[in-house]
Amino acid sequence: MSTPSIHRYCVIMCGGVGSRFWPYSREDCPKQFIDFLGTGRSLLQMSYDRILPIVPKENIIVVTNEKYAGLIREQLPDILPSNILLEPARRNTAPCIAWAAYHIAALDPEASMIVTPSDHLITRENVFEDCVRRGFEFVESHDALLTLGITPVRPETGYGYIQIGQEAEPGILKVKTFTEKPNLELAKVFLDSGEFFWNSGIFLWKASSIISALHKYDADLTCLFDRGVSDFGTPREMEFINANFTSCPPNSIDYAVMEKADNVYVECVNFGWNDLGTWSALYDNSPCNEVKNVAQNCNVLAYESTGNMFAVQSPDKLVVVQGLNDYIIADAGDVLLICPKAEEQRIKQMVTDAKLSFGDKYL
């Protein structure tokens, strides 16, 4: 195994609340901190593990909300305290990535970086390593913003799509267009065309390249960060962030930069990726029994019931159902959720309704 380059960095974005996985995912312990697959490692820990062969341990940075500092230290004890960047407020991915890029550039002007969510599932980790190394080599030799595009296997309406253009080198192509979450008819057209890939939300670039792109396409954001440029990489950095970060307008890196820039490329990959964004996605990635029921952490007696997702945080609990097909049954402490898989997009609204009716008690 080759030694990771000292100029390569990883930024793990770890600030989301994962409301679509309620009631397992809660404000005080979102889904990235949960061992959904029964492997003994949370999604965050798996994200950290898979990047270790590629990036030096001391160059792995986690950006998270300040309320999760304790969970990060508990789950990733090897992370340097200075490599945990604590956001004082949630502002989406553009401010998160901007801060990380300014921080890294102050430490190492030659740095290249991969930005990855903390809550995705990747099953073919050796292929992932090869793809990331190739991506690093490309961005280190080009002024390029690279995203990893996943070969689509179905007309998915919950993902963004990338249309490919001219090939820059084998497996890496210019991006023509981005399309956010198309309807089913359009998703079928995309799949049949062979020109579209899912947007994984995993990015590679030089720190200097993304800062330059942010200056060009999101001047309001860089104007704010430029005021503290002499503070980054010093003990004054956190003071600057605490005083200014909440002034950042919430925006995603896709809207802020990727959909506007003219130096965006996609590496087309197939490494067993799933964003594990929903209970149905977890169902699809879990072993099921002969009647296609999935039981996570519980015993089940199911009569005339198929295609269900059972998830119970009390391993001694027995779940007994009769006549239930294609449902989510999730029992977590003080909340029991029973919802058809076909209606799970309503879970976010259920969380909102629970807050309106009961305050933060069940969040």
How many CA atoms, within 13 angstroms, populate the side-chain half-sphere of residue 236?
A: 8
Going along the chain from its start, the domains and CATH numbers come out as: 6-272 (3.90.550.10), 277-356 (no CATH)
pLDDT tens, N- to C-terminus, the chain (363 residues): 567 889 999 999 998 888 889 999 999 999 999 998 888 999 999 999 999 999 999 999 999 999 999 999 999 999 999 999 999 999 999 999 999 999 999 999 999 999 999 999 999 999 999 999 999 999 999 999 999 999 998 888 888 899 999 999 999 999 999 888 888 899 999 999 989 999 999 999 999 999 999 999 999 999 999 999 999 999 999 999 999 999 999 999 999 999 999 999 999 999 999 888 889 989 988 999 999 999 988 899 999 999 999 998 887 889 999 999 999 999 998 999 999 999 998 999 999 999 999 999 999
What is the per-residue pLDDT for 130?
96
One-letter amino acid at 133 equals R
Tokens of 135: 């991506």
What is the per-residue pLDDT for 296?
86
What is the per-residue pLDDT for 143?
95
Whether the upstream peptide bond of residue 56 has omega within 30° of 0, thus cis, is no
Tokens of 363: 């969040």
- Tell how many helices (H) and how many strands (E) occur in the chain: 11, 17
What is the per-residue pLDDT for 2?
66
| Residue 103 CB neighbour total at 10 angstroms | 23
Bridge partners of 177?
163
What is the per-residue pLDDT for 285?
87
**Longest CA pairwise span in the chain (Å):** 66
Q: Which stretch of DSSP H or E encloses residue 113? A: strand 112-117
**pTM passes above 0.95:** no
Tokens of 53: 């062969």
User: Distance (Å, rounded) from C-alpha 206 to C-alpha 163?
Assistant: 23
One-letter amino acid at 123 equals T
What is the per-residue pLDDT for 37?
84
User: Distance (Å, rounded) from C-alpha 240 to C-alpha 270?
Assistant: 40
User: Distance (Å, rounded) from C-alpha 281 to C-alpha 139?
Assistant: 31
